[in-house]
Chain A
Amino acid sequence: MNATQFQTPLKRARGLGAAKSGAHHWIVQRVTAVALIPLVLWIVYFALRVAFADYAQARALVHDPLNAVLLLAFVLALFWHAQLGLQVVIEDYVHTQWLEIAAQLAVKFFCVLGAVTCALAIVRIALGQ
């Protein structure tokens, strides 16, 4: 007896694409994109300031409350947007199931670890001294 024969078509479609939550990924990708427009413009300006600073000055720049907030917002939006984008690339080009699952997991783990690492580094500097 096949278990799927007792499932409705909606039950089989749920979680596999455009069943109620299909647009969520698309919308979050756009929301993070819009957030990243001003944040990227700011990070370019900020990175140029850091580039000409020595260690103490660079720490002081990240220690500044407003800079720390913007840097944290940038890093979170960045890794969120990167995960969503890389996910679509893998979905489009990787068709071997185990390879696709492995790649999707690797991207998710990398992005979460990257976000956590950056966030903790920023908080350490922002709250230190």
Chain B
Amino acid sequence: MSQPASYNGIALVTPVSLGYSKVSEHSASWFIGSVLREMIDLAGIDKADIDGLAVSSFSLAPDSVSSLSQHYNMTLRWLEQLPFGGASGILAMRRAARAVQCGDADIVACIGGDTSQAGSHRDLVSDFSSFSNSASYPYGSGGPNAAFAMITQRYMDETGASREDFGRLAISQRYNAQHYAPALLGGKTLSMEEYLAAREIASPLHLFDCVMPCSGGEGFLLMSTQRAEALRLDYVSILAADERHNAFPNDPMQLRGGWPLFADQLYASAGLGPDDIDLLQTYDDYPVISMLQLEGLGFCKPGGAADFVRSNALTFDGGGLPHNTSGGQLSGGQAGAAAGYLGLVESIRQLTNGALKNQVVDAQHAMVSGYGMINYDRGLCSACTILKRGDS
């Protein structure tokens, strides 16, 4: 199998997260455009300098990225729409990087943004995919909670992971969120007692295993390192990135994502190993999925994530493996497809010293993982990238 070419010469800059709230009267185009405006300000460029736009949103319809070029009065020569949920950010980054490397665009804005209103979560999950509509939603209409509850139950049965183990992830992320002002649940502490005593949602999932749907936007600009240096912008480089879709389709249950298919090559391309990763952002729609990422990305053996979270500090300042350093979705809220950009944007902040109270000291390398699209019984998209602090 051929391997992805180098991402040499590509810079990720101007991380922006904004607008997090439980519900909003604004539309998706407000969130996406507001992120765009903030990034233009941070970069010190003109709107006309941006000639590529990649967006992800569950609530943008009937508009598309093409519509947005008129909303924002921009003439673009490259655009992309990535409806891939939790894998959207890394996929946008990979495609935008190739566009810039090949001369199809000079500066690409990569943005995830979604609005949330009463009932919009139900509207989304009750018509999510044809397989889900015919073979999942009619069975108790649990939405993603149902499928992930079943994955979690089987994972616990097979590995011996306990609720406390999932709680360790949720509690460490809450601690991180308490040091990241925009996190929606950052104002509330979470103890193991509270985690365990929470009401049951879909056995074995309880309240703090489930994300809170919300509105919000996340984005970054992607350009050449020369351009970033000319603009005197702190930047982050891509050492490696890859993705797989519908990996291991014959596994009767999803107890691994697509990461084992490319993790070794990812590390080889980066010239690094798991021990060199200074901070890790996993896609945490449910704690069990973060565990599958810890396993699939080589931090521990398959089935070994419970042991890993028992013996490694996961807080941003705990001296172990800083994980989901802004609180992730579990403590920050799941802003639709923006959640697929959250870990990437937070890593760009961290590697440009742009984080505030949750800054990981001396972080050089970050790993960001994405996972998305529960089409029926499993998430189909797996993606991952290794990032490095830029030289400027």
Q: Do these two chains really belong together in a complex?
A: no
Point out residues on A near B: beta carbons under 8 Å.
none
Point out residues on B near A: beta carbons under 8 Å.
none
